[in-house]
Amino acid sequence: MMNSDNSWIVAWSDSLGFPEAMPQWIYAAAALICTFCFVIVPCGALMSYFERKLAADLQARVGPNRAGPAGILQPIADLLKLLQKESRTEWNWKENIWLSVHTMALYSTLAVLPLGSMAVLVNTEMSVFLPFWAALVLALGTMLLGLGQNSVPGWFGGIRVAAQTLAGSFPALISLLCTGVRSGSFRWSSLAESQGFSPWDWTLLANPFQMIAFSVFVMSGLVLLAIPPLDGGLSMSDIHGGVASHLYGRRLSLFQFGRFYGFFFWSVITVVLFLGAWDLPVSLVNSLKSMGAHQLLALSELLWLLVKTFALMLLIIWIAKVNSRSRVDQITDFVWRVLSPFSLAALVGSSLWAGWRAF
Amino acid sequence: MNLIKKEILTTDLTTWTIGPYHGSLPAPMRLRLSLDGEIITDCDVETGFLHRGLEKACEFQSWRAAVAYADHLDPECAVFGELVLCLAVEQLAEIEVPARAKCIRVILSELSRISSHLSYMVRMARAVGSETIIHYLLRDRERILDLFELLTGARFSINFLRFGGVQADVTDGFIERVLEVCELIRIRMKEYNDLFTFNFGFVKRTSRVAPISKDLVSFCGVTGPNARASGVSFDVRKKFPYSGYDRLDFETPLGQGEGGVLGDVHDRFLIRLREITQSMEILKQLLDVVPSGEYVNRKLAKDSVVPPGEAYSRIESSRGLLGCHVVSDGGPSPSRVQFRSPTLANLLAIPQIVRGIRIEDLPVVLASLDLGIAEADR
Amino acid sequence: MKKSIFSAVGLYVRDVLLGAWSITGSCMTAFPYLLRWGDLRKEVTEGYPDPISSKTADDLPTRSRGLLFNDIDRCTGCGECEKVCPSRCIKIKDEPGADPSKLWVSVFDIDFSRCIFCGLCVEVCQPGSLAHTRQYEGAAYQVSDLVASFGRGTVTDEHRSKWAILRKMSESDEASP
């Protein structure tokens, strides 16, 4: 279901000169494609470069330094290399089907990805929960992809991913509720409005229970989407990357980019829920609005959101590079024994806090 | 109906063959695993993929060139293979070794031990997926390899030991640089510990996993750090001293069961860390008083023959007891050279200890045994 | 002994905090590397053959065992190196030449695809003509390119007869005074 108020469309269509009469779905489709091409893909390339450079700096190495100045073109070189590769195995219909299911489930979340006050396509009371649906379908797709591969690494990788996802979704959902308790609504817009530019207005620092909820949410997201360091299902040392072990060339690049996108959307959601969303200083927003520079406002909101997202992602990558990978039974153990009780405690605590504040 | 039920409910054991090349294997070998879900129920180890016919090849070489072959027994710590062969031949031909040569040999062995244990830690780090520490460890091992290059001219297969001594004297500044490297590694040790040894995730991954019991140690003939981690106090340097180890004051660390069970992966890892410290203490003692004199037995004629007979020598390599049996018929080349490698005993222990662990722990367990497959296959 | 619920919860919370503390500690240990604090934490990678590398062949230790080089003018063709070589990578063919003090080395091939750089041949070389250089860049596109030839070339029968006369002359020279 689309957003009921069309303010975002009007703001864009006026300035870009689209005819008013075009049906809404065309705008929505155009918005999705633009988001994918001009936000997600560049972010993926940048992030892979940052990840390599950060890892190199931590490990007393130089990192990419051949393609372009300081190796900045390395992601493009990698992509070209992967596209050239030929598939090792013959055409496998199962693999193709499950890879497309996997990919479609993943990118369906683009519709609910909040990237600024004027770039929220689906803004309902349920929009926060939609990514979970996609994450579960994604896990199902990964599992079936693994089972369809006819290899032991694929089976184990698929089953482990499914086990992790099932475990991780419970604390993720519970800790998500904590933010709703504070903002009073699960609309992206009201979640953003309940926070502010200064870190003291963020949900993270509202009360100690929100801090617990934040750490639980981030960690359970890592479990849910099998992101290092909690990626037992895609472990490199024993099962050669699990599901990815039998993917080659273009399929591998599709799969790897999907993994990046999962990580990215989880970080964006975390930033919107806990780290002050896209909120800029009120005075700046007002002056931009009075000048009528809606696009500039949208762009600066997007940039501010992405800066915070990248910071969060780099922090997680730092932890992943330095620490050792956990075993899958330890991960699920950790989720049920540590994350779940803590998320419940955070929910009770933040509810009591909100009730006390209401009085 | 019955049929369908049967088909769904049977949980057969899965067979998974890994190898000879696989990411979870530290060296080329083949494992046939029976898996119950993710639990390993049985394991069959097949080796021999790195067989080079090294012992046989020695029989076609001159005695002198046989050292160059023994050097390739284990590429990672070449000096041990050379040393054990030299000791056996010296015992057979009753060649006197000057004190300075003995000292240089012990310096090289202890440096090799440190470098081998550093690579052991690299393999452990790779198995548990901890990337950063790998680069730190390799960087520091590089300093030791630089020392080898300075002294012998080669980094890995040094071919430096000769019957009755060593090839050349220590170069200027070598001893200072060894001390420098010792000091550096002592500083780094704290970093390794903070980053890796006492890391919560690493301890969780390694403690209580695949312990080797004392019975298994004696059953399989496991020696070296793996046996000491299980509480068996056996060190060739103490029991059968060679090359002047009896004059050095050092202790062999024993496993203490910090991970929960004596002789588990965590103990095996910690024992290596303590041995690095121990080796550095030995080096400091040695370098304080390097005896002066010749570095090789000059009285030995260039073309002297090894008298007929046989001899056996054993040393403590970084992986355990390394033995060498040499038979001579008085000819220009050895008539039989046989090595006893510590890794073969460790390989025998694998099927016993991996039963009941998860396949995610398999790389960690294999890495923790320090398998030098080159010396087992020969 | 029965544990009270409070001690169990206490242990649980302690474990969680310890885990968090240890993981933070590990991250902070690597932090100085990000900022390159001190000499001990510089990056050590040396690109090859990029100009950031400071090392050349001259920086290697003097004992460094690089590719072998044979100074054929000093070589007597005694064949000791061929005998001692453990990997049998040296091939020598020689015959009496004009100079009676040494042999004419027509073929002296070192097959670097087999050489293990053990240095035994250099050790046994009496005239000191065979030596390790500090050159280490030995890669080639063909295995046959890895064979280094130091020989003086093959000899024809014409040469042989001429040299035989020369040898006789020098022998008679030595005998006459």
Residues of B in contact with C40 (CB under 8 A): 184, 187-188
Closest CA relative to residue B72, chosen from C87, A49, A316:
C87
Residue C94 confidence class, pLDDT cut points 50, 70, 90: confident
Q: Does domain C57-175 match CATH 3.30.70.3270?
A: yes
Residues of B in contact with C132 (CB under 8 A): 153
Residues of B in contact with C25 (CB under 8 A): 194
Residues of A in contact with C26 (CB under 8 A): 322-323
Mean model confidence pLDDT for chain C: 81
Instruction: Give the H/E segment covering residue B221.
Output: none
Nearest to B24 among A58, A61, A237 (CB): A237
Residues of C in contact with B194 (CB under 8 A): 25-26, 29
Cβ atoms of A139 and A162 within 8 Å: the answer is: yes
Residues of B in contact with C61 (CB under 8 A): 149-150, 153, 171
Question: Among A45-49, A237-241, B291-295, whose mean pLDDT is lowest?
Answer: A237-241
C residues 20-39 closer than 8 Å to B (CB): 22-23, 25-26, 29-30
C33 touches chain A (CB under 8 A): yes
Written as six digits, the tokens of A16 are: 């870009």
B200 touches chain C (CB under 8 A): yes
For residue B186, give how far its alpha carbon lies from the nearest alpha carbon of chain C (Å): 13
Nearest to B152 among C25, C63, C85 (CB): C63
Name the burial class of residue B80, with classes exposed (0-12), middle (13-18) and buried (19+) by CB atoms within 10 angstroms of its CB: buried
Chain B positions touching chain A (beta carbons under 8 Å): 14, 16, 22-24, 38, 125-132, 134-136, 139, 195-196, 199, 201-202, 204-205, 358-363
CB atoms C23 and B199 under 8 Å: yes
C residues 47-106 closer than 8 Å to A (CB): 47, 50, 52
How many beta-carbon pairs below 8 A join chains B and C?
A: 72
Mutate to test the interface with B, among C14, C18, C63, C80 (most CBs of B within 10 A): C63
Instruction: Give the H/E segment covering residue A66.
Output: none
Residue B300 confidence class, pLDDT cut points 50, 70, 90: confident
C116 touches chain B (CB under 8 A): yes
CB atoms B359 and A61 under 8 Å: no
Cα–Cα distance, B68 to B157 (Å, whole number): 8
CB atoms B65 and C120 under 8 Å: yes
CB atoms B128 and A237 under 8 Å: yes
Alpha helices for chain B (secondary structure H):
2-9, 54-58, 63-70, 78-93, 99-128, 131-152, 174-192, 200-206, 214-220, 225-229, 236-239, 265-288, 342-353, 362-368, 373-377
C28 touches chain A (CB under 8 A): no
Q: What pLDDT is recorded for position B324?
A: 92
Residue B315 confidence class, pLDDT cut points 50, 70, 90: very high
Nearest to C23 among A60, A62, A319 (CB): A319
Residue A343 confidence class, pLDDT cut points 50, 70, 90: very high
Side chain identity at A116, as an amino acid letter?
Answer: G
Nearest CA in chain C to A65: C47
- List subunits contacting chain B, requiring 3 or more Cβ pairs under 8 Å: A, C
B97 touches chain C (CB under 8 A): no
Instruction: Enumerate the domain spans of chain B.
Output: 9-373
Instruction: Give the H/E segment covering residue B51.
Output: none
> Per-residue pLDDT tens for C114-137?
888 888 888 888 888 888 888 877
A214 touches chain B (CB under 8 A): no
CB atoms C84 and B152 under 8 Å: no
C41 touches chain A (CB under 8 A): yes
Cα–Cα distance, B118 to B4 (Å, whole number): 55
CB atoms B200 and C40 under 8 Å: no
Nearest to C117 among B154, B194, B195 (CB): B154
Written as six digits, the tokens of B307 are: 């008298």
Instruction: Enumerate the domain spans of chain C.
Output: 11-41, 57-175
Q: Tell me the CA distances in angstroms from C42 to A70, A288, A306, C56, one per residue in order.
A: 18, 46, 31, 20
Which residues are bridge partners to B165 per DSSP?
B162, B296
Mean pLDDT over B164-173 rounds to: 84
C26 touches chain A (CB under 8 A): yes
Mean pLDDT over A273-295 rounds to: 83
Q: What percent of chain B has pLDDT over 70?
A: 96
Cβ atoms of A119 and A277 within 8 Å: the answer is: no
Instruction: Enumerate the domain spans of chain A.
Output: 92-358
Residue A1 scores a pLDDT above 60: no
Residue B116 confidence class, pLDDT cut points 50, 70, 90: very high
CB atoms C84 and B64 under 8 Å: yes
Q: What percent of chain A has pLDDT over 70?
A: 92
Q: Starting from the edge strand earliest in sequence, which strands make up the sheet with B320-328, in order?
A: B309-317, B320-328, B336-340
Residue C19 scores a pLDDT above 50: yes
For residue C32, give how far its alpha carbon lies from the nearest alpha carbon of chain B (Å): 11
Cα–Cα distance, A259 to A225 (Å, whole number): 8
Mean model confidence pLDDT for chain B: 86
Cα–Cα distance, C107 to C89 (Å, whole number): 13
Residue A12 confidence class, pLDDT cut points 50, 70, 90: low
A316 vs A79 pLDDT, higher one: A316
Please identify which residue in the block is written with the tokens 């394991």.
B43
Mean pLDDT over A124-131 rounds to: 80
State the fold for domain B9-373: Cytochrome-c3 Hydrogenase; chain B (1.10.645)
**pTM of this structure:** 0.88
Question: Among A7-11, A164-168, A179-183, A209-213, whose mean pLDDT is lowest?
Answer: A7-11
Q: How far is CA C62 from the centre of its chain?
A: 12
- List subunits contacting chain A, requiring 3 or more Cβ pairs under 8 Å: B, C
Extract long-range pairs of B305-310: CB within 8 Å, 24+ residues apart.
B305/B330, B305/B331, B305/B332, B306/B63, B306/B89, B306/B92, B306/B93, B306/B330, B306/B334, B307/B92, B307/B93, B309/B92, B310/B92, B310/B336
Residues of A in contact with B199 (CB under 8 A): 323-324
SS3 state of residue A202: coil
Residue B344, phi-psi category: left (phi > 0), alpha (psi -120 to 50), beta (remainder): alpha
Residue A2 confidence class, pLDDT cut points 50, 70, 90: very low
Closest CA relative to residue C151, chosen from C75, C86, C89:
C75
Q: What is the Cα gyration radius of chain C?
A: 32
CB atoms C120 and B69 under 8 Å: no
> Per-residue pLDDT tens for A138-187?
788 788 888 777 777 888 888 888 888 888 889 999 998 888 888 888 88
A114 preceded by cis ω (within 30°)? no
Q: What pLDDT is recorded for position B4?
A: 47
Phi and psi for C148 in degrees, rounded to 5? -100, 125
Nearest CA in chain A to C16: A338
Which residues are bridge partners to B314 per DSSP?
B323
Nearest to C19 among B71, B142, B200 (CB): B200
For residue A323, give how far its alpha carbon lies from the nearest alpha carbon of chain C (Å): 7
Cα–Cα distance, A161 to A158 (Å, whole number): 5
Residue B325 confidence class, pLDDT cut points 50, 70, 90: very high
Nearest to C84 among B62, B153, B168 (CB): B62
Phi and psi for A292 in degrees, rounded to 5? 80, 15
Phi and psi for B324 in degrees, rounded to 5? -140, 130
Residue B24 scores a pLDDT above 90: no
Nearest to A62 among C29, C41, C47 (CB): C47
Cα–Cα distance, A306 to B214 (Å, whole number): 57
Nearest to A232 among B131, B135, B360 (CB): B360
Q: What pLDDT is recorded for position B13?
A: 76
CB atoms C29 and B153 under 8 Å: no
Q: Starting from the edge strand earliest in sequence, which strands make up the sheet with B39-46, in order?
A: B14-18, B30-36, B39-46
Which residues are bridge partners to B340 per DSSP?
B323
Nearest to B135 among A59, A232, A240 (CB): A59
Cα–Cα distance, B199 to B204 (Å, whole number): 9
Cα–Cα distance, B247 to B244 (Å, whole number): 6
Residues of B in contact with A234 (CB under 8 A): none
Residue B307 confidence class, pLDDT cut points 50, 70, 90: confident
Closest CA relative to residue A178, chosen from A202, A201, A220, A212:
A212
